A and B are shown apart, each in its own frame.
Chain A
Amino acid sequence: MALGRKRTGSSKVPKLQLTSMMDMFTIILIFLLFSFSNNPEQMSLDGDMKLPQSTSKLDYKDSIRLVLTRNELKLDGNVIATVKGENVEGLDKLYDALKNYRDVADTLKKDVNIAERKEHILFLCDKEHSFKVVNAIVKTAGRAGYPNFQFGVVETE
């Protein structure tokens, strides 16, 4: 009997001290969840795209999203034009698409939320592009009925 007791005592598996690791994980988890709640809607940018930095503190609004990477122009995620050197090919498609948005927004003007969403364009552009390229795009958008923009930038400290 005495032997039996001894054996069970010696075969006791040592337990890992997980409490400190739990504390660390809890802190990381809370930090990550807070960083999500800070700006619930995040956008993914192409890897080679570099947004300019700015001191602006203004949050962007949900709107039509125009993204100009090094080689492509995307409207709400779909490639609509390409950039070759300093020329943008396919601006007519951009004009047609935006004009279509404009017409839909005008038709649905009674619905406040939809009308608000279509009032301006969120423009995300690589900082290396020249004004020639940018101007061609913003002018086309202006002609299609969207003269107001929000330029997306990365916040500086």
Chain B
Amino acid sequence: MALRSRRREDIGDDELELVPVMNMFLVLIPFLLLSASFYHIKAINTSVPVLSSTSATTKGKPSKADAKVTVIVELKEKAVVLTATCDELSYNDLVKLETEMPVKNPEVYPMEKISQHLQYIKDKYPKSDTVILVPTQQVAYGTIIRTMDTARSANNAELFPNVVLSGKVG
């Protein structure tokens, strides 16, 4: 009788031996924590202008709404200048797309205004997809990336996905 009750007690007291598992966790977790990265690196596609051996060819004259406008954003010391270029549009049409925004502090560019103007161009010529970014020599890389973000999208809508980075010529 005594033996039986002892067996029952033993069965009731049986527990999993968790200490080795704990030891393994204690080794694994610091190792993973050390090699973990808590920031996510993403990428922005861009390119620099290259000389092309092929000549530009015109495939008929598309309508104005189908025109693909290339916007040039110049980040100057005292202003941001937006101009546009397009084979299908007249000089007068292109002039209407130009604007200049004064900059009081060269470290703070008016991204909101740039975004609004780019949206205006995109609404007018929806097939446009390219922005050429022309910063001056002193503009910080961080500012360039912010301008690229502004040009690529606004309010979760795609604006100009192709951003080309170019130095000022001349």
Contact = CB atoms under 8 A, between A and B. Distances in A.
Q: Do A and B come from one complex?
A: yes
A122 B43 CA distance: 8
Nearest to B135: A131
Interface of B is mostly: mixed
Interface string A126-157: 11111110110011011000011111111100
A108 interface: no
A150 B15 CA distance: 55
Given A127-B141, A130-B138, A153 B42 contact: yes
A153 B41 contact: yes
Q: How large is the interface on B (under 10, 10 to 19, 20 to 34, 35 or more residues)?
A: 35 or more
B43 A150 contact: yes
Interface core residue of B29, B49, B140, B145 (most chain A CB under 10 Å): B145
A151 to B, nearest CB: 5
The 8 closest A-B pairs by CB, nearest first: A127-B142, A60-B43, A150-B43, A132-B137, A52-B145, A32-B32, A142-B48, A25-B25
B108 interface: no
B108 to A, nearest CB: 15
26 contacts: A19-B18, A22-B21, A22-B25, A28-B29, A29-B32, A32-B32, A32-B36, A55-B153, A56-B42, A56-B149, A58-B45, A60-B42, A126-B141, A128-B142, A130-B138, A131-B167, A135-B167, A138-B165, A147-B49, A147-B50, A148-B47, A151-B43, A152-B41, A152-B42, A153-B145, A155-B41
A110 interface: no
Given A22-B21, A55-B153, A128-B141, A153 B36 contact: no
B95 interface: no
Contacts of A15: 15
B8 interface: no
A18 interface: yes
B43 A58 contact: yes
A78 interface: no
A111 interface: no
Interface of B: 15, 18-19, 21-22, 25-26, 28-29, 32-33, 35-37, 39-50, 135-142, 144-146, 148-149, 152-153, 165, 167
B18 A22 contact: yes
Given A29-B29, A29-B32, A33-B32, A152 B149 contact: no
Contacts of A32: 29, 32-33, 36
A55 B149 contact: yes
Interface of A is mostly: mixed
A51 interface: yes
A36 to B, nearest CB: 7
B125 to A, nearest CB: 24
A131 B145 contact: no
